[in-house]
Amino acid sequence: MGHRKRIVIVGGVAGGASAAAKARRMSEDAEIVLLERGNDISFANCGLPYHVGGIIPDRARLLVQSPQAMRQRFAVDVRTHSEVLRINRPQKTVVVHDKAKDRQYEQPYDVLILSPGAEPVRPPIPGADHKRVFTLRSLADMDAIKAVVDAGKGEKSSPALAAVVVGGGYIGLEMTEVLAHRGLAVSLVELEPQVMGPIDPEMATPLHEHLRQQGVDLCLSSSVTAIQEREGQLEVRLSTGRVIPCGLVILAIGVRPEARLAAEAGLTIGQRKGIVVDDHMRTSDPDIYAVGDAVEVQDLVGGFPAVIPLAGPANRQGRIAAINALGGDAVYERTQGTAICKVFDLAVGMTGLSEKALKRAGLAYEKVYVHPASHAGYYPGATQISLKLLFDPQNGKILGAQCVGAHGVDKRIDILAVAIRAGMTVYDLEKLELAYAPPFGSAKDPVNYAGFVAANTLRKEVRICHVPDMVNPGPNQLLLDVRTAPEVQQGTIPGSVHIPLDELRGRLGELPKDKEVLAFCQVGLRGYLACRILSQNGIACRNLTGGYKTYSQALGLMSGKPKILREMKEDTGQTGAEPHPTVRKSAEVVKEIDACGLQCPGPIMQLKQAMDQIQPGQAVRIFVSDPAFAADLEGWCHTTGSRLRDRQLNKGVLTAVVEKGQPAQSSAPVATSNRKTLVVFSDAFDKAMAAFIIANGAAAMGSDVTMFFTFWGLNLLRHAQPVPVRKTLIERMFGWMMPRGADKTTLSQMNLAGMGTAMIKSIMRKKNVLSLPELIVAAQKSGVRLVACTMTMDLMGLKREELLDGVEEGGVAMYLDRAGSANVNLFIG
């Protein structure tokens, strides 16, 4: 009998362990030796941050396979503490240093599989070698970091409880989250102006916003210049001059392929410094294979060499190398870089090439943005996701996708990863039939939706424009905001003209025919509808893809707060150490409430309960998905004397920090003599007339008037014409049965099958009394606030688009705040 084929594997984790197990499944005959220099094999590197954070409390869960189990089940000769020092290619041996016995020996091979991984980069800065400056790759690194964090426990507000994470890639982001989870004040320092380098900058904006909301001290465009110890604590000096005192530093600035062994053996090393392999994972020596983080792969979309250190490719390549090492013919078909990362409550995922990578490669592309709900908006818990799709402008082939959001990011990225792998086009996305029920998605899934938008663009149903076009419009271009007035009040693109979509047909004359209109709305849909109207009326038009939301993301405008924080940080610390901003915070957040999915007045009730349980000066952080809550909250704070410390809207979830005021501040506000409130419960013609006559009269006398419409009263605010909105059958039936707008209302008494109402309207005309719709317009013109009760809108299935422009949405707290400070409060029922 000839000698058994001897397969020697260097590196016993992702790629190496996969190769060993697969080789054994392929051949019971082969002799398989697995050499690992560390203490463990086959551990879950991807889980390391989560054990530090206490999310995976049981360390043993990270050990996927022990050396004993690997020996027993797979009959693999596992040798830990065994470092391969050299490869002798002519003799086909490797020189092994047995660290346990401190001896060296030569191990022969027939086939060698290298899976040595990639090593974390340690920058050459003073102090980077300090014992409390860590990188994270192995279980030992993890244990050391955890020991420091555990030891810092109980020393609240001490710098020992502060950490500086250097590098905003996925390991840096994960470490930031878990350290914050452990109660540390975390500063995240990133050289670039964005975190998560592989994605495009505008898609990172929500992450920046979210990190800051979570209290992370985000230092972008900054690098660490020195680390030093002073009186037992570390000080990290940044390129901005700022000095951050802390208890530990995590360096997560990237990894580089461990290609030394291969290079010294004369194997070909590529331009990206990884081991060069062919599509069978074979190196320049036919008896040596290499896999995982140490190798250079071909990018699936661009075809260029790339180093993409991810666990999925390492595992699959390990299997392929094992098959080929045993005489098989398995082909590795490139890497597409599908990745996902959790950043507190958000997820960010990508697949294929980013826009910046496409630009670098000189490849032609077009892009669209959509911001749909993660699942049906009417089912609780839906949040907005932002999806960017990059595709070939000629044939529509999908080139890349990026997605950020609180829910449903993973499945959209995975669908698009499959689509890219299958060579699909945006037209194919339109056809995808995806699983749908309200808790999971939408009948038009965000992926379909992105396909529709992209394919419409390629079919030239609508021409699109991008943020740079809006920032620098030409002299023959006009920016047109087609959103409603309240949306515009929240911010718009400088220099734009405002015509709400629903008024556009009637106001076409206001638009110059000789200019190209660059239309925009909030997320792109109404802008598209506007373009359809304009182009069919002979006006050249383009729609801003992704709307004002994408514009805000691209300009980093998601909220004013981060900018203030950033300015503050840049201004400080030129000379000395600054305490971490989280430590400096005046109001301590002692409670968090997740009120997502609750409708008005649920969130405000929960907030009240929590505030009752805390002390003045302490704060509550609340997360809410009900859109009316923002308006409610201001009123509630005003009424209760609480202070709104922070308010950020992100992906449909409003996060607010509310500080409890001193008892003296909490007294009800003094009634303001010129404020009037009316609750309009009824849609009866006569009652509505009375309500609007009083409101107009009061406004004319200089009063600040708010009309709060609830139940049937809401019908007064409906558009006269049907508005295309998505509704359930029951909502639709309800809509048919209710009067559509003020003109369709009838008398509460003596209606006489419509005759009574017609008579009174005719008398009113004769006596020159304004009609009800005219009274409504007059009220709006004189500044009367018309507020639709969101809770009853939801009950009656009324959508925002069905209500008149300028109507605000609000909840009970908003009404009570206004009523509390009014001297007249009427109920029209």
Name the one range near ligand FAD by CB under 6 A: 111-119, 192-200, 212-220, 382-390.
111-119
Sheet holding 77-79, edge to edge: 77-79, 31-35, 6-10, 111-114, 288-290
Helix (H), strand (E) at residue 39: none
Name the one range near ligand FAD by CB under 6 A: 109-117, 233-241, 618-626, 678-686.
109-117
Residue whose Cβ sits closest to ligand FAD = 292
Q: Which residue has the tokens 């030569």?
A: 106
Q: Any contact of residue 49 with ligand FAD (CB under 6 A)?
A: yes
Q: Any contact of residue 311 with ligand FAD (CB under 6 A)?
A: yes
Q: Any contact of residue 292 with ligand FAD (CB under 6 A)?
A: yes
Nearer to ligand FAD, 37 or 718 (CB): 37
Alpha-carbon distance of 51 to 139, in angstroms, equals 10
Check if the beta carbon of residue 665 is closer than 8 Å to that of residue 817: no
Q: Any contact of residue 84 with ligand FAD (CB under 6 A)?
A: yes
Q: Any contact of residue 87 with ligand FAD (CB under 6 A)?
A: no
Alpha-carbon distance of 536 to 781, in angstroms, equals 31
The single residue among 83, 570, 743, 805 that binds ligand FAD, judged by CB under 6 A, is 83
Q: Any contact of residue 171 with ligand FAD (CB under 6 A)?
A: yes
Dihedral angle computed from the Cα positions of residues 422, 428, 433 and 434, in that order, rounded to the nearest 10 degrees: 60
Going by C-alpha positions, the residue among 167, 210, 205 that lies closest to residue 187 is 167
Considering only residues 3 through 22, tell me which ones interact with ligand FAD, judged by CB under 6 A. Answer: 10-11, 13-16
Considering only residues 612 through 631, tell me which ones interact with ligand FAD, judged by CB under 6 A. Answer: none
Going by C-alpha positions, the residue among 157, 151, 159, 190 that lies closest to residue 173 is 190
Nearer to ligand FAD, 262 or 610 (CB): 262
Q: Any contact of residue 312 with ligand FAD (CB under 6 A)?
A: yes
Alpha-carbon distance of 375 to 372, in angstroms, equals 8
Considering only residues 185 through 214, tell me which ones interact with ligand FAD, judged by CB under 6 A. Answer: none
Q: Any contact of residue 38 with ligand FAD (CB under 6 A)?
A: yes
The single residue among 30, 31, 36, 283 that binds ligand FAD, judged by CB under 6 A, is 36
Nearer to ligand FAD, 35 or 227 (CB): 35
Which of 403, 521, 531, 789 is flagged as catalytic?
Answer: 521
Q: Any contact of residue 45 with ligand FAD (CB under 6 A)?
A: yes
Q: Any contact of residue 116 with ligand FAD (CB under 6 A)?
A: yes
Q: Any contact of residue 309 with ligand FAD (CB under 6 A)?
A: yes
Considering only residues 222 through 281, tell me which ones interact with ligand FAD, judged by CB under 6 A. Answer: 258, 261
Going by C-alpha positions, the residue among 52, 252, 57 that lies closest to residue 149 is 52
Total binding residues toward ligand FAD, as defined by CB under 6 A: 32
Other beta carbons within 10 Å of 505? 10
Considering only residues 375 through 434, tell me which ones interact with ligand FAD, judged by CB under 6 A. Answer: none
Helices 67-74 and 14-26 pack at an angle, to 10 degrees, of 20
> Which residues are within 8 A (CB) of 400 and not within 5 positions of it... i.e. 6 or more apart?
301, 350, 351, 352, 353, 354, 355, 357, 358, 389, 390, 420
Q: Any contact of residue 136 with ligand FAD (CB under 6 A)?
A: yes
Supply the minimum distance, in Å, between the C-beta of residue 123 and ligand FAD: 17
Q: Any contact of residue 293 with ligand FAD (CB under 6 A)?
A: yes
Nearer to ligand FAD, 292 or 400 (CB): 292
What's the N-to-C CA distance of the chain in angstroms? 99
Q: Any contact of residue 347 with ligand FAD (CB under 6 A)?
A: no
Q: How far from 600 is each of 644, 791, 795, 803, CA to CA, in Å?
A: 19, 6, 11, 19
The single residue among 5, 6, 46, 511 that binds ligand FAD, judged by CB under 6 A, is 46
Name the one range near ligand FAD by CB under 6 A: 32-40, 343-351, 469-477, 695-703.
32-40
| SS percent in the chain: helix, strand, coil, step 5 | 35, 25, 40
Q: Any contact of residue 500 with ligand FAD (CB under 6 A)?
A: no
Q: Any contact of residue 117 with ligand FAD (CB under 6 A)?
A: yes
Q: Any contact of residue 35 with ligand FAD (CB under 6 A)?
A: yes
694 three-class SS: helix
Is residue 341 flagged as an active site residue?
A: no
The residue count for the chain: 829
Helix (H), strand (E) at residue 565: helix 560-571
Helix (H), strand (E) at residue 4: none
Kindly report the backbone phi and psi dihedral angles of residue 45, in degrees, each rounded to the nearest multiple of 5, phi listed first: -60, -35
- Residue positions annotated with a catalytic role: 521
Return residues touching ligand FAD (CB under 6 A).
10-11, 13-16, 35-38, 45-46, 48-49, 83-84, 115-117, 136-137, 171, 258, 261, 292-294, 309-312, 314
